[in-house]
Structure 1
Amino acid sequence: MLKLFVPGRLCLFGEHTDWAGHYRTMNADILPGMAIVTGIEQGIYAEVEKASNFEMHSDAAEMKDAWRDFSCRMTETDLKRVAKSGSFFCYCAGVASYMLEWYKVGGVRIRITNMTLPMKSGLSSSAAICVLVARAFNLLYNLNLNTMGEMNIAYLGEQRTSSRCGRLDQACAFGVKPNLMTFDGDEIEVQSLNVKKTLHWVFADLCTAKDTIRILSDLNKPYPFAQNEKEQNLHRALGEWNHKIIERAVKYMAEGQVEQLGQLMTETENMFEEYITPMSPALQAPKLHEVLRDPAIQPLVYGGKGVGSHGDGSVQFLARDAESQKKLVDYLNSEGMRAYQLTINPVHTVRRAIIPVAGFGTRLYPATRGLKKDFFPIPCADGMVRPVILILLEELVKSGIEEICLVLGSEEERKLYTEFFETPLSAEHLSKLNTEAQEYENRILDIGKRLRYVYQKEKRGFGHAVYQAVEFTHNEPVLLLLGDTIYRSHRNKPCALQLIEEYERYNRLMVSIHSVPLTEVSRYGILSGIWEDKENTILNVSAMNEKPKASYAEEFLGVRGNDGKKEYCSVFGQYILTPEVFQQLETDIRKADEGNDHTREIELTSALEAVRSNHGMMGVRLDGEMYDMGNPDALCRCVAAFSKPKE
């Protein structure tokens, strides 16, 4: 049995542009729709399992008055009949019918355990239930759909009902984070947004009535071709004017300009009132405007606007701070509305990195008797000869890393690093260097100021080595590099920075990946999953397999690209570990200790897989090359490559 959570969604900016952008298929002068949408903290919690029929059950107290348990035979005729009936379960049946028609699946049993999402409030409760159903089929029957695939099926399933939802409703599939959605005809693109400062949102069900079907019908009439000035203004409001609003909103969120973002909400609402509301009598919203202008609310907020299709459905505000957010929720509830808070936190940027260097370097013996493998010299294209560890540390500094923790095998080893990175050259040696090298000496000493040290005194595996730095992480995401692997980017941006930037978009455990031939999969950890983007650079990982046989990998682990061909993805050697990874490592170590199994190795791979199964994992294809220094052949290839300038 699987446990799932799907949030509701709140459209912050750009409502109605999803369906408007669809008309580009008929009128190329219409601009693509653009909207900023976020999942919210309220949603649907469920347990799902395979069954012979399609069943919906609920234990949620919030739904006891409206809910009646439902069961339907898993046939196209029965499911489509329910979808067209307009009944409480029509949306669910619509998705199930699509799944059966296109994927030939069996049934599922869905039991809703908790429902914190208000219904019919502009927060897409119907879309959330559709995504829940699509995700249940996807995971239970191993359909390998990515998030966009689940979102599209939820939309197509809801289209089989009498509903005419827009494409942005199913944005709840992407979780509780803000996304920029672009609607270009039948094409949709989704980009996660960066948030620099905490945003304290409040939204409320106005507890009145609105006619969404009438609103959508009236606003669709001027499409695809405007016939008069009023209709032209509607096209501009949902097109070029909206583009300018979205650009400003993205900028304000990324730069932490919270007050300007709130003012933009009010500005957007005023534009809506002037150019869009006159197109439909159903958009007259006296309750919404009364709440937006309430003098008791103004000191608590930076701005506010309507939600979803607008009308007297819901209202949203950007509160000034956490205290104002709470006061506003209490006030709206006291006024007969149902208010909720949504706090969008900034993604923790990655400021720390870990490099384990405790290994002996058996495959490089006997050189490692006198020189640690991370100090092996590498001739570089600029004429300097750098040790491996310095190449790694310079990449981290260029990527904005502020502190670096080296995991050593013993305290005695520390002297080697402190002498290299913290002890200035003698005046005699310094005087023999040219000006450029003397300046470079200062850079080495500056790197030394960033170094911290921990020790793996018991050799209990790679995961155990990484866990020694748990206190260093300060419960924040941390970059992990391998001490015997160096990287060369194909562009000006270092590989580590490429990975960090993708983490800031997805805020999830990340592993860098690269493609390896099928004949070599048995030498690597192989990741399988579904590409999240058209460029095949972001992999939503569904499984990790350590050194599989080629026959198994060929049948189960290939990742299909746009051309339909399979490729096999291995770890590239850079990771961004979230706090959950260290929690899992702690659990693994404690279990081994409790069982007096001190010889069992604590592996990082098993901890990553446990976190992936509970929280998800993204693989990122970096634009660069990886060089493993752990064996003589790889060392020779690396020396040959690094001595040549980049092409």
Structure 2
Amino acid sequence: MKIFVPGRICLLGEHSDWAGGYRRTNAAVEKGYAIIAGTNQGIYADVQPHPNALVLYSTTPDGERQGPYQIPMEPKILLEEAEKGGFWSYMAGVAYQILTHYHVRGLIIDNYKTDMPVKKGLSSSAAITVLTARAFNRIYDLKMTIRGEMEMAYQGEILTPSRCGRLDQGCAFGNRPIMMTFDGDRLDTTELQVKENLYFVIVDLHAKKDTRKILADLNKAYPFANNETEEGVQSLFGSINKRITHEALEALQTADGERLGALMTEAQDYFNRYAAPACPEELIAPVLNRVLNYEALKPHIWGGKGVGSQGDGTAQFIARSEADQQAIIDIIERDLQMSGLKLTIFAGAQVRKAVIPAAGFGTRLFPASKATKKELFPIVDRDGIAKPAILLIVEEALAAGMEEVIIIVQEEDLPAFQSFFSEQVSIENYNKLPRHFQEYAQKLLEMGQKVKFSIQRTQEGLGHAVYSARELIGSEPFLLMLGDHIYRSDSDRSCAQQLVEAFNQQGRSVVGMRKTAESDIANFGTVTGNWVGGNQLLNITEFAEKPTIEYARDNLRIDGLEGEYLTLFGQYIIKPQIFDYLEEHIENNVREHGEFQLTSALDRLRKEDGFAGVTIDGKRYDIGLPDYYLDTLQTFRKS
């Protein structure tokens, strides 16, 4: 299994993690706030299980190979190795913490590539600890969330002489920008989305700084300030930082690079004013400030500041454009003999396409399904119009902003679906329609222009059906809506809209959920996990396909639910990596209950990229069984 973990750059809010931690002893200290992002460079590893040892290899940025270095998976030996310090200590510290909390064996971790600079404020040590935690999590399916991996990595690193800060392990979130809040021992994270790409340059100043001295001197201002200089430090990391990071949060999400650059420059000015006097030997930083004020760079930048603990280590600039990003690097290398790295925060992928599987035979609705596809069965909507079920689903998708709807059908059923969405009724019949139905007939043709079809030539499970849409989806996230479910929202946002909004906020795959009585869960896919800030959003730790009650009681319970479980609502937004997993299953004939299922591929996506569940404010109506269809006919219009 291959794993990549990026470095981490603190765009704004450096030092606020440990400063906010002092709220444990002084509640008057302001919370810490930081905005971080993963770098485009990082640490790459190939990992596999080992029966009884931690076997380690590493590769430096210069390509030098080290290892194998073997450590027995015994707590005492791992702890001793962690306390020694050095590169291997980070992995040993995490392995010690994992072994303390879980029943695991060993790992082989081959760090075969490193393309980020080390000891330059980009949290290379945190990246290797997160990589180690993630390797154990995925190899042994420990069901840790990203936050769980972060915590395990942090606890592992503080066993070493490094003594990292809390924000370093934010690299666990990958390249997505994150807002972090530090309140004593409490850490909150919010994943951010940007509307347009933002272009940064990270500059290695090729100078020296003493991070330990910087931290020691700045920590003297806490928990209680004793003089004007220390009051300035607390103000800098407190109220000033709070204002700047929250203004920057809005600028980041709206992709306002000019405003973000101005805030970065302002933050650096305040840092020079209030932090430098507390540690002048390190924080006056002549090299950093010379680069930040280098005249030739100004036409290409919106602003810039120091990185990490600050001092003469690393600088960051926000470029005016992608072309300016390259121009900055050219100037840095040519004029200043320094090196630069590109960091691009990419706009969040937009969900533009929906997939509706409609190729099943409808066995449970036979013989009606022999006469017509169950997706074409009529349902009376609130407006009194009798609509085929597929139309209600397409309308739901289009109302959520989808630009294209892909319906998966059997080849022999294609003419019926095409006729419905693409052919006008005959002139004779059109003239018989009341005016409002004539208008609706035109609306149908307009909707039909956004409908495409994918042929599933053999019906071999939901996973197989979804895979058949790969060519039309491409490399985009997509909305999946089951063809034998219709939906009714209980709010002013449709069910699919709620899901799209959650995806835009989370930046990872999401699935709609609903509460289901224990007696019914054998009919539905079911999830479990940990609530995030209430009972609306769930970090999913397991997908289970139609579990038994016994399995659910042992493995799928959710805090706060008694006699109920969270089952799948029938709507998903899925990242395109799912197609790689489905292809692997199909090529290797990996079946469950004789078919290529979607659930196992979803669970793999959960392990490798994270998956959120959203409790939908609405109802799902099933038309896949006679009794369910009858109930839908009786209740959907009134809902």
Q: Could you say whether these structures have the same fold, taking a TM-score greater than 0.5 normalized by the shorter chain as the test?
A: yes
Q: Deviations over 1:480-524 (max 9, x none)?
A: 211220122332222212221222234444433334444444333
Would you say the 8 A contact 1:16–1:309 is kept in 2? yes
TM-score by length of 1: 0.87
Q: Deviations over 1:572-623 (max 9, x none)?
A: 211223333345555666778xxxx9xx865544554565565554444333
Q: 1:642 aligns with which of 618, 636, 639?
A: 636
Secondary structure at the aligned position of 2:91 is classed as: helix
* Alpha-carbon distance between aligned partners in 2 of 1:192 and 1:219, rounded to the nearest angstrom: 29
Alignment of 1:522-533 (within 5 A): 522-527=522-527, 530-531=529-530, 533=532
| Residue 627 of structure 1: how far off its partner (Å) | 1.4
| Residue 101 of structure 1: how far off its partner (Å) | 3.5
Counterpart in 2 of 1:417?
Answer: 421
Would you say the 8 A contact 1:476–1:578 is kept in 2? yes
| Residue 276 of structure 1: how far off its partner (Å) | 2.3
Counterpart in 2 of 1:574?
Answer: 571
Distance 1:370 1:419, change over 3 A: farther
Q: 2:433 aligns with which of 425, 429, 433?
A: 429
Would you say the 8 A contact 1:52–1:74 is kept in 2? no
| Residue 177 of structure 1: how far off its partner (Å) | 1.1
Q: 1:631 aligns with which of 600, 625, 631?
A: 625
Counterpart in 2 of 1:395?
Answer: 396
Would you say the 8 A contact 2:63–2:113 is kept in 1? no
Counterpart in 1 of 2:616?
Answer: 622
1:374 aligns with 2:375: yes
* Alpha-carbon distance between aligned partners in 2 of 1:325 and 1:297, rounded to the nearest angstrom: 10
1:447 aligns with 2:447: yes
What letter is aligned with 1:576? Answer: I
Would you say the 8 A contact 1:422–1:445 is kept in 2? no
| Residue 624 of structure 1: how far off its partner (Å) | 2.6
Secondary structure at the aligned position of 1:89 is classed as: helix
1:189 aligns with 2:188: yes
Would you say the 8 A contact 2:51–2:106 is kept in 1? yes
Gapped regions of structure 1 (runs ≥ 5): none
* Alpha-carbon distance between aligned partners in 2 of 1:423 and 1:496, rounded to the nearest angstrom: 36
Deviates more, 1:573-582 or 1:96-105: 96-105
Would you say the 8 A contact 1:422–1:449 is kept in 2? no
* Alpha-carbon distance between aligned partners in 2 of 1:554 and 1:320, rounded to the nearest angstrom: 55
Alignment of 1:26-45 (within 5 A): 26-45=25-44
* Alpha-carbon distance between aligned partners in 1 of 2:141 and 2:605, rounded to the nearest angstrom: 19
Count residues in correspondence: 632
| Residue 317 of structure 1: how far off its partner (Å) | 1.1
Alignment of 1:172-571 (within 5 A): 172-281=171-280, 282-334=282-334, 335-368=336-369, 372-381=373-382, 385-409=386-410, 410-413=413-416, 414-419=418-423, 426=430, 428-431=432-435, 446-456=446-456, 458-527=458-527, 530-531=529-530, 533-535=532-534, 537-541=536-540, 543-555=542-554, 557-561=555-559, 568-571=565-568
Secondary structure at the aligned position of 2:82 is classed as: helix
* Alpha-carbon distance between aligned partners in 2 of 1:421 and 1:300, rounded to the nearest angstrom: 59
Secondary structure at the aligned position of 1:296 is classed as: helix
What letter is aligned with 1:96? Answer: A
Distance 1:457 1:120, change over 3 A: closer
Deviates more, 1:414-423 or 1:226-235: 414-423
Secondary structure at the aligned position of 1:62 is classed as: coil
Would you say the 8 A contact 1:11–1:307 is kept in 2? yes
Would you say the 8 A contact 1:355–1:480 is kept in 2? yes
What letter is aligned with 1:252? Answer: A
| Residue 274 of structure 1: how far off its partner (Å) | 1.9
Counterpart in 1 of 2:115?
Answer: 116
Deviates more, 1:24-33 or 1:85-94: 85-94
Distance 1:237 1:490, change over 3 A: farther
Secondary structure at the aligned position of 2:496 is classed as: helix
Would you say the 8 A contact 2:300–2:325 is kept in 1? yes
| Residue 237 of structure 1: how far off its partner (Å) | 2.3
TM-score by length of 2: 0.88
Secondary structure at the aligned position of 1:472 is classed as: helix
Deviates more, 1:476-485 or 1:544-553: 544-553
Distance 1:115 1:536, change over 3 A: farther
What letter is aligned with 1:412? Answer: P
* Alpha-carbon distance between aligned partners in 1 of 2:588 and 2:86, rounded to the nearest angstrom: 50
| Residue 210 of structure 1: how far off its partner (Å) | 1.1
Would you say the 8 A contact 1:53–1:109 is kept in 2? no
Deviates more, 1:577-586 or 1:407-416: 577-586
Would you say the 8 A contact 1:510–1:617 is kept in 2? yes
* Alpha-carbon distance between aligned partners in 1 of 2:304 and 2:617, rounded to the nearest angstrom: 42
| Residue 438 of structure 1: how far off its partner (Å) | 8.1
Alignment of 1:1-20 (within 5 A): 2-20=1-19
Deviates more, 1:315-324 or 1:54-63: 54-63
Q: Deviations over 1:49-88 (max 9, x none)?
A: 4446653532525377695654444444433333333444
| Residue 138 of structure 1: how far off its partner (Å) | 3.1
Calculate percent identity across the aligned residue pairs.
41
Q: Deviations over 1:28-47 (max 9, x none)?
A: 23332111111112222223
Distance 1:560 1:407, change over 3 A: closer
Gapped regions of structure 2 (runs ≥ 5): none
Distance 1:444 1:248, change over 3 A: farther
| Residue 169 of structure 1: how far off its partner (Å) | 0.5
Distance 1:565 1:373, change over 3 A: closer
Counterpart in 1 of 2:169?
Answer: 170
* Alpha-carbon distance between aligned partners in 2 of 1:117 and 1:421, rounded to the nearest angstrom: 63
What letter is aligned with 1:499? Answer: L
| Residue 332 of structure 1: how far off its partner (Å) | 2.7
* Alpha-carbon distance between aligned partners in 2 of 1:101 and 1:587, rounded to the nearest angstrom: 34
| Residue 292 of structure 1: how far off its partner (Å) | 0.8
Deviates more, 1:274-283 or 1:563-572: 563-572
Distance 1:382 1:21, change over 3 A: farther
Q: Once superposed, what is the RMSD of the aligned Cα atoms?
A: 3.4
